[in-house]
Amino acid sequence: MIRVTQAIGLDMVAEGVETKDQADFLSECGCDIAQGFYYAKPMPLEDFNKKLQNQTKP
């Protein structure tokens, strides 16, 4: 699926990523967008906004 979406110019989002191994595997396969408990548990919008503000920018 990753190759198909890349071939037609779409972004693919992998859902349900729970471990670093899963995240690494997806990245190696070319999937650069993922979500799941590995990154963060569900949270209220206010908490999410605070988390974004506290992140360092590259």
- Exactly one of 15, 18, 28, 46 is catalytic; which is it? 15
Report pTM: 0.74
Please choose, from the candidates 36, 30, 33, 42, the residue with its C-alpha nearest in 3D space to the C-alpha of residue 18: 36
Residue 17, token pair as written in the block: 């990523």
In the 8-state DSSP scheme, what is residue 14? E
Domain hosting 46: range is 2-54
Domain count for the chain: 1
What was the pLDDT predicted at 55? 84
Distance of alpha carbon 37 from alpha carbon 23, whole angstroms: 11
For 3-22, the pLDDT digits (tens) are 899 999 999 999 999 999 99
Q: Tell me, yes or no, if 18 is annotated catalytic.
A: no
Of the pLDDT bands very low, low, confident and very high (cuts 50, 70, 90), residue 32 is confident
